[in-house]
Chains A and B, each alone.
Chain A
Amino acid sequence: NAGVMQNPRHLVRRRGQEARLRCSPMKGHSHVYWYRQLPEEGLKFMVYLQKENIIDESGMPKERFSAEFPKEGPSILRIQQVVRGDSAAYFCASSPYRDGDYGYTFGSGTRLTVV
């Protein structure tokens, strides 16, 4: 069991470019969560998805950010027209139960740097 796989580990983008972050949940997990960690801050919830459905996106910025979890393939967090303030570590987590009773399993994160 490879765990939660995130790629790329590091991503550098120029201001105005698009960033695509991928997350493959653990085998058997159908619930995916994205969190963002800004420098010197905790983990901030962004979005919770099930296959083909966004369940809760209350933590997502209203503009430029979108997420999907298609029937086939990984979950994608997309950031359009990146700005320097988007530089952060983005963590994906997955769980096998809707209620996440056993906590989430996190990936190693994608560190986005906007130059």
Chain B
Amino acid sequence: DQQVKQNSPSLSVQEGRISILNCDYTNSMFDYFLWYKKYPAEGPTFLISISSIKDKNEDGRFTVFLNKSAKHLSLHIVPSQPGDSAVYFCAASPTLLTSGTYKYIFGTGTRLKVLA
């Protein structure tokens, strides 16, 4: 039961162009979303987040868009740089559960390759 889906396992983009990474989710209880970047042999690092009360969050070259009705979010990287080449995971969590926890559900990742 894959509640968070990243249907593109890989993406290649020319340096300077826009990279768009997509993520779909099935659980309407998900309320908070994050993107992580992961280099080989390293742990994931937090990139950007968005809560369901917003439809856009921007941080420098990175923008995350959320479409709640479509249960879809995307990460835009503009302009793309070779150092952005990594695996990108989206993650989602419901609002605070009765157990008092957040538990992030991760997608399977998209490997981005930015070509110089």
Q: Which residues of A contact B (CB under 8 A)?
A: 4, 6, 33, 35, 40-45, 48, 55-56, 91, 93, 98-109
B49 at the A interface (CB under 8 A) = yes
Residues of B contacting A102 with CB < 8 Å? Answer: 46, 49
- Assembly CA distance A27 to B49 (angstroms): 23
Given contacts A42-B6, A91-B44, 14 further A-B contacts (CB under 8 A): A35-B106, A40-B108, A41-B108, A42-B106, A48-B101, A48-B103, A55-B99, A56-B99, A98-B101, A99-B101, A100-B104, A102-B49, A103-B34, A106-B36
Task: Give the residue of B6, B36, B45, B104 whose beta carbon is less than 8 angstroms from that of A45.
Answer: B104
How many chain-B residues does the 8 Å CB contact rule pick out? 27
Residues of A contacting B91 with CB < 8 Å? Answer: 43
- Assembly CA distance A55 to B104 (angstroms): 14
- Assembly CA distance A56 to B99 (angstroms): 8
Task: State whether B43 touches A42 (Cβ < 8 A).
Answer: no
- Assembly CA distance A33 to B102 (angstroms): 11
Determine the residue in chain B with the shortest Cβ distance to A108.
Answer: B43
Residues of B contacting A99 with CB < 8 Å? Answer: 96, 101-102
Task: State whether B44 touches A44 (Cβ < 8 A).
Answer: no
B8 CB → nearest A CB, Å? 13
